[in-house]
Structure 1
Amino acid sequence: MLQATGMIVEYNPFHNGHAYHVQQARQLTQADVVVAVMSGNFVQRGAPAVLDKWQRTAQALVNGVDLVVELPTTQAVQPADRFASAGIQMLSALGCQAVVFGTEDAQLDYQQIGVQLAQLPEHHQDFKDYRQTYATQLNQFYQQQLGLSLDYPNQLLGLSYAQANAELSRPMTLVPVQRQGAQYHDTQLTKGLIGSATAIRQALQQVPPQWHQVQQVVPKVTFQTLQQGPLVNWARLFPFLKYRILQADLGDLQAIYQMNEGLEYRMKQQIQAAVTFEAFLKALKTKRYTYSRLQRLCLYTVLNLKTTAIQAQQPYLHVLGFTPAGQHYLHQIKQQVPWPLITKIDRKLGQESGLMGTDVRTDLVYQNLTGENQVYGRYPLRPVKEI
């Protein structure tokens, strides 16, 4: 029987740090198969992925991942705790024995901390101090309850993985890996082979793109794909957001997921004068909301993601790609997987009321930006040898 270890990823884009993560996952767990639950065409902080999910799947398969399964948009574009919980549940459904994740502090006993967090009352779900962001209040809660001070985003994400894992009926083994090189929020590419995905995206957005710097920190297949494009960012999506806000009435906007506390009025007030997405975000910003929270809200708005759609989402496993070992593993577990296992999207799955209706609709928005087919007629990818 093949043994699998899992990871929750975005690969936006796949870089050398990710390759190190994959190598460590296999080495530390001695797994036969490395499974990646990967965000689709839209990512956690509320943005379109720089490359589409099929391009990023191909990069992962060439660089050591055996099976890539899509994290649906309704779960991928969420705050860290909900993003983590969805990913952990998917890895558990896929039969993984371990979860490997990067962190700035690999010395923490995440397994034990997860048990402690799972036993705490959920007061942190209903913070009421409007002078502080949710993330700030959550950090304070962890510090008060566990004596933990979280200074880096992957620490917070690691604790979210730990708590979600502890709440499973059969928790997986947690394997933290110390982050190497650049930190998550680093915006500049410096000398070295590992740079942050944030810095890579910023280098790509410069005019002209800083190709020489990018080439040093990504595998060959990623570099080739980035040069071929098309590359997507909020600048390309912003005209659609502006149209959406201008044409929608307040009732339509109020139905959008996470649209509360009068944010629909603020959007209406600020959108006409905004020339760029960055200017619009700055105009929306208050002490209560982080830029990530507002950026997610903007994405929900342009994708017309309503609260009802989020609440109605049923679980499924959409396979984006596999190696021979990954395909063998799927055959091994397919009778035990508790959720629908999907390798091809048909019209029934993709219709508005279908199991994948929301993801098909959001993927068609992304497809409109690139001209590349994202949905129908797509089958799981297999690794192609690097040129």
Structure 2
Amino acid sequence: MRSVGIIAEFNPLHNGHVYALTRARQKAQADVVIAVMSGNYVQRGEPAIVDKWARAQMALSAGADVVVELPISVALQSSEQFAEGGVAVLAGLHVDAIAFGTEDASLDYAALAAKRMQASDTEVFRDYTRPYASQLADFYASEVGKKLTAPNQMLALAYAEANLRLHSPLTLVPLQRTGVQHDAVNRAAGFLSASAIRQAVFAGEDVTQYVPAMTRQLLAQQEHASWADLWPLLRYRLLTATLPELRQVDQMSEGLEYRMVACARTSEDFADFLHQVKSKRYTYARLRRLALATVLNLTRDDVRFDREHVLAHVLGFTAAGREFLHSVKKTATIPLITKVSSDMLAPGAPLYMTHRADSLYTNINGQVQNFGRKPLMQDSEFGGKTC
């Protein structure tokens, strides 16, 4: 079976995602679409609006054949590490191609990524007062003669670079984005970004025309998670943990623990906290990820261990997806998990960090996230069941 992979968050799944899943299948001439999806926490440093099982069900109803969870150790990282982790999962499952949305599908992403890999870090990153992403964008601009500042362009280049590092690279399938840009709030006919949809949902607005029926149904059924749920816990942790404890948090560096503790004392809410902590050196997304790692107590050692034990936790599949999983089960280079037992969640086990973080999400929506959960099986256009 020819397969194509997509790395996504579906937070929540909207009409643009349906288009991407359809185009990926068509352009790659694939029999199955494999979605590697962030779990209950996403790369911009937030809890997903609804849990991973609901979003997996959205994806299956919209054209994905297999949904695999992206490990939390890479889901909450910079675009380069996020891309590397997602590509590693696809490669471990012997997926043939990787599709990704971009504002310019005509660029030769493989060639640009190769130039970046050939350049030394001193050639690319010279100014330590500016964010890494800004300097990387400058490097690519010097190569193509125009700014590549759109988030999906930079993520596409990260996918291409991670892919080039593989022993057997996947085929790159760039998809021209349509409708609105990332984080856009201007409403185009039938399309609205996931960020704008979340804002509308939190405001109680109608998003019917921008999302499929399954997304509407599941958004109505589940509690919606946001930083409002986590801010009291973050503030408590910052004001009660010792500085040595905070220094062990993944991505905590350059004395940020002092700044975060001081700002936690005077901040009224999470938005105020971010505004106080913000500096030219760090993006808001970087600070949100650090804040999330802090409240979840994700240490550098935790993350290192998790990234050294890459696995594929299957959240759902279609009949075609089940056939694909059966075909790769014996040759996959990473463990394939379809049912989570208690020993997989124990300290030192590969799913321990995910389980620990998901326990907090359970407090928000009341749904058990791992133990005993079996993959969803898509059996109709707008329905899934646990098999």
TM-score interval (norm. to shorter): over 0.9
- Does residue 201 in structure 1 map to residue 198 in structure 2? yes
The one-letter amino acid paired with 1:218 is V
Per-residue deviation at 1:131? Answer: 2.6
Per-residue deviation at 1:234? Answer: 0.7
Partner of residue 28, structure 1: 27
Partner of residue 36, structure 2: 37
Alignment of 1:1-387 (within 5 A): 2-123=1-122, 127=125, 129-144=127-142, 147=145, 149-188=147-186, 190-206=187-203, 209-211=204-206, 214-313=207-306, 314-385=309-380, 386=382
Moved more, 133-142 or 168-177: 133-142
Per-residue deviation at 1:128? Answer: 5.5
3-state SS of paired residue (2:291): helix
**Contact 2:251/2:290, CA 8 A, preserved across alignment:** yes
Counterpart Cα distance in 1 of 2:127 and 2:113: 26
Per-residue deviation at 1:118? Answer: 3.2
Per-residue deviation at 1:384? Answer: 4.8
Counterpart Cα distance in 2 of 1:356 and 1:73: 10
Cα deviation, 1:232-260, whole Å, max 9, x if unaligned, reads: 11111111111111110111111111111
**Contact 1:16/1:193, CA 8 A, preserved across alignment:** yes
Moved more, 370-379 or 137-146: 137-146
Superposition misfits of 4+ residues, deviation over 6 angstroms: none
3-state SS of paired residue (1:308): helix
Per-residue deviation at 1:149? Answer: 2.2
Q: Please, what TM-score do these two structures have when normalized by structure 1?
A: 0.95
Counterpart Cα distance in 2 of 1:111 and 1:283: 39
Per-residue deviation at 1:323? Answer: 0.3
Counterpart Cα distance in 2 of 1:76 and 1:204: 23
Per-residue deviation at 1:285? Answer: 0.5
3-state SS of paired residue (1:7): strand
- Give ranges in structure 1 of 5+ residues lacking alignment: none
Cα deviation, 1:135-174, whole Å, max 9, x if unaligned, reads: 1111122234554521200000010011111111111111
Counterpart Cα distance in 2 of 1:297 and 1:20: 32
Q: Identity rate of aligned residues, in percent?
A: 45
Cα deviation, 1:299-344, whole Å, max 9, x if unaligned, reads: 0000001111111221111111000100111110111101111111
Per-residue deviation at 1:49? Answer: 0.3
Per-residue deviation at 1:218? Answer: 0.2
The one-letter amino acid paired with 1:100 is A
**Contact 1:58/1:384, CA 8 A, preserved across alignment:** no
3-state SS of paired residue (1:175): strand
**Contact 1:3/1:33, CA 8 A, preserved across alignment:** yes
Counterpart Cα distance in 1 of 2:174 and 2:274: 34
Per-residue deviation at 1:112? Answer: 2.6
- Give ranges in structure 2 of 5+ residues lacking alignment: none
Cα deviation, 1:333-381, whole Å, max 9, x if unaligned, reads: 1111011111111121101111111111011111111111111110010
3-state SS of paired residue (1:349): helix
The one-letter amino acid paired with 1:215 is T
Counterpart Cα distance in 2 of 1:277 and 1:162: 35
Structure 1 257/128 Cα, relative in aligned 2: closer, same or farther at 3 Å?
Answer: farther
